[in-house]
A = this chain, B = another copy of it.
Amino acid sequence: MAPPPSSTPKTLHVITLVLKVAMFALLLASLIVLVTATATLPVDLFTQLTVHFDDVYAYRYVVASIIIGLVYALLQIAFSIYHFVKGNPLIIGNGGFIVDFCGDKVMSYVLATGSAAGFGATKDLKALADARGLDFDDYFDKAYASSSLLLLAFLCAATLSVFSSYALPKVVTN
């Protein structure tokens, strides 16, 4: 008889905790880089145009996806540390594994789409700005950096999602 799912080894706990902390740090860095990205262009002698992240619709979605990811990562880290300190398995019963599975899966999709929306919009908007001779390079480079950090955070989330898939109780085949 196979042992119950609660027998997850302690090393796996440590690996998932490290991944969650890395995901949180990457998301925080991504958020800071994107939110602080601004570009200022002189319109005429007296006026100038300042562009922030919220002037591009896609970046608003990117920021939303990062914030959702940050909240999720923080909750997951808190639960992990609590159970790690108490020496208990991750969550009581099978329900916890299903919640983890769904959460990790949905979160990895949210971060993947956020990163893709960021890259997609930046590539084309930068090309348009270049074609019109506007110097938005610094602004778009920061957007690329933010999307790249988000991509790395997504890789952490995707790896966590693989772990939580393996931890699933086999309700379909049993």
Interface residues of A (CB under 8 A from B): 1-5, 7-8, 12, 56-58, 61, 101, 105, 108-109, 112-121, 123-125, 127-128, 158, 161-163, 165-168, 170-174
Contact A12 B172 (CB under 8 A): yes
Interface of A, helix, strand, loop or mixed by DSSP: helix
* Contact of A8 with B173 in the complex, beta carbons under 8 Å: yes
Residues of B within 8 A of A128 (CB): 125, 128
Which of A58, A114, A118 has the most chain B CB within a 10 Å cutoff? Answer: A58
Contacts of A116 in B (CB 8 A): 61, 112-114, 116-117, 120
List, in ascending order, chain B residues with CB within 8 A of A120's CB. 57-58, 61, 116-118, 120-121
Rounded to whole angstroms, the CA-CA distance of A4 and B173 in the bound complex is: 8
Does the CB pair A1–B1 fall under 8 Å? yes
- Interface centre among A4, A115, A118, A124, by most chain B C-beta atoms within 10 angstroms, is A124
Can you report 12 A-B residue pairs in the complex whose CB atoms are below 8 A from each other? A57-B123, A61-B120, A108-B109, A109-B109, A113-B113, A113-B116, A116-B120, A121-B124, A125-B128, A166-B168, A167-B173, A168-B168
- Closest residue of chain B to A1 (Cβ to Cβ) is B1
Q: Are B165 and A121 in contact (CB under 8 A)?
A: no
Residues from chain B with a CB closer than 8 A to the CB of A105 are 158, 161-162, 165
Instruction: Kindly provide the distance from the CB of A87 to the nearest chain B CB, expressed in whole angstroms.
Output: 18
B173 close to A109 (CB less than 8 A): no
When chains A and B are docked, how far (Å) is the Cα of A44 from the Cα of B53? 36
A3, B123: Cβ atoms under 8 Å?
no
